[in-house]
């Protein structure tokens, strides 16, 4: 039997406060694939991202989320991240008083530190950590002063998105969801961030890009495009689907979907 797909969503019905938002989502992503998930505001894209990442407030009514063939729905958000899953948030949270560097050190140690056999984790050597941080910041064109700033506090929209990608770069996940990473970025920032993501990406990974614009997809090229409407994936195709959406909007799909 061949290896299980890296990431799979099966018949997912889920929501919040008893209300169903996702109404039967199926999605399979293999290593080496980049998928785009498009759809109008409020269609349930972020909801899917949160449920995959393990947000405790969301409820799953039916279905499974598999990572490397294993159902992760019972795992905590931290355990999922330790397995190699990553979500770049649409709206990253501010943590006052916690410096970017201290946070990244703890995160890197939590994800990459090896078990010390006593229920704790071996830490990455401080020198190694600092070197890695410096390299990744250079790659993403992030100023060094970023390391001492408090996590997302007073960050501009663009800085927040870069900070998300920096976290991704430091944690080196295998499966990433990027939720509207392009929103709030000007053209130059979009280029830097996309170049960074392209450098980080390799064939052993997979990515799901959530966006409602074509412009990100000019920089990071997906092989597969899906469209979500009212909690369901109503259409899937190749890159040409994104272009079609850009030209026609979502309305033509709404008509087909409501049949």
Ligand X SMILES: Nc1ncnc2c1ncn2[C@@H]1O[C@H](COP(=O)(O)OP(=O)(O)O)[C@@H](O)[C@H]1O
The gap between the terminal CA atoms of the chain, to the nearest Å, is: 38
The residue among 18 and 97 lying less far from other proteins, judged by its C-beta, is: 97
93 makes contact with ligand X (CB under 6 A)? no
The residue among 55 and 191 lying less far from other proteins, judged by its C-beta, is: 55
Q: What is the 3-state secondary structure (H, E, C) of 189-219?
A: HHHHHHHHHHHHCCCCCEEEEECCCCHHHHH
The residue among 55 and 219 lying less far from other proteins, judged by its C-beta, is: 55
45 makes contact with ligand X (CB under 6 A)? yes
H/E run at residue 164: helix 157-171
The residue among 39 and 196 lying less far from ligand X, judged by its C-beta, is: 39
The residue among 99 and 214 lying less far from ligand X, judged by its C-beta, is: 214
Pairing of strands 58-67, 7-16: antiparallel
For other proteins, which residue of 1, 2, 17, 96 counts as binding (CB under 8 A)? 96
Range in contact with ligand X (rule: CB under 6 A) among 5-13, 39-47, 141-149, 189-197: 39-47
Given its phi and psi angles, is residue 195 left (phi above 0), alpha (psi -120 to 50 degrees) or beta? alpha
Half-sphere exposure of 87 (CA within 13 A, CB side): 21
For other proteins, which residue of 23, 40, 64, 102 counts as binding (CB under 8 A)? 102
For ligand X, which residue of 21, 27, 225, 227 counts as binding (CB under 6 A)? 21
DSSP summary character for residue 147: G
Range in contact with Mg ion (rule: CB under 5 A) among 28-36, 83-91, 92-100, 215-223: 83-91
How many CB atoms within 10 Å of residue 204? 9
| The token pair that represents 243 in the structure block | 């272009």
- What is the C-alpha to C-alpha distance for residues 130 and 230, in angstroms, rounded to an integer? 45
CA dihedral of 146, 151, 156, 157, whole degrees rounded to 10: 120
Site for other proteins in 7-66 (CB under 8 A): 53-57
73 makes contact with other proteins (CB under 8 A)? no
41 makes contact with ligand X (CB under 6 A)? yes
181 makes contact with Mg ion (CB under 5 A)? no
Range in contact with Mg ion (rule: CB under 5 A) among 46-54, 170-178, 189-197, 243-251: 46-54
The nearest distance, CB 93 to other proteins, in angstroms, is 4
Cα Rg, the chain, nearest whole Å:
18
Task: Give residues in contact with Mg ion (CB under 5 A).
Answer: 46, 90
């Amino acid at each position: 039997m061949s290896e299980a797909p890296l990431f799979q969503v099966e018949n997912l019905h889920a929501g919040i406060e008893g209300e169903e938002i996702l109404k039967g989502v199926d999605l399979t992503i293999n290593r080496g694939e980049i998928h785009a998930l498009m759809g109008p505001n409020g269609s349930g894209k972020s909801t899917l991202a949160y449920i995959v990442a393990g947000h405790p407030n969301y409820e799953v009514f039916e279905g499974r989320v598999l990572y490397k063939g294993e159902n992760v729905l019972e795992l905590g958000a931290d355990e999922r991240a330790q397995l190699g899953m990553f979500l770049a948030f649409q709206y990253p949270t501010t943590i006052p008083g916690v410096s970017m560097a201290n946070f990244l050190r703890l995160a890197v140690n939590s994800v990459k530190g090896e078990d010390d056999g006593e229920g704790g984790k071996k830490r990455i050597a401080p020198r190694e950590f600092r070197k890695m941080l410096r390299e990744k910041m250079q790659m993403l064109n992030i100023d060094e002063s970023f390391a001492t700033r408090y996590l997302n506090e007073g960050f501009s929209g663009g800085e927040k998105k870069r900070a998300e990608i920096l976290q991704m770069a430091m944690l080196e996940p295998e499966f990433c969801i990027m939720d509207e990473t392009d929103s709030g970025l000007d053209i130059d920032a979009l280029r830097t961030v996309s170049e960074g993501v392209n450098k980080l990406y390799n064939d052993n990974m997979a990515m799901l890009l959530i966006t409602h614009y074509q412009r990100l997809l000019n920089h990071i090229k997906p092989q597969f495009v899906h469209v979500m409407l009212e909690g369901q994936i109503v259409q899937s195709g190749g890159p040409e689907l994104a272009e079609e959406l850009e030209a026609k909007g979502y309305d033509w799909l709404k008509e087909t979907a409501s049949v």
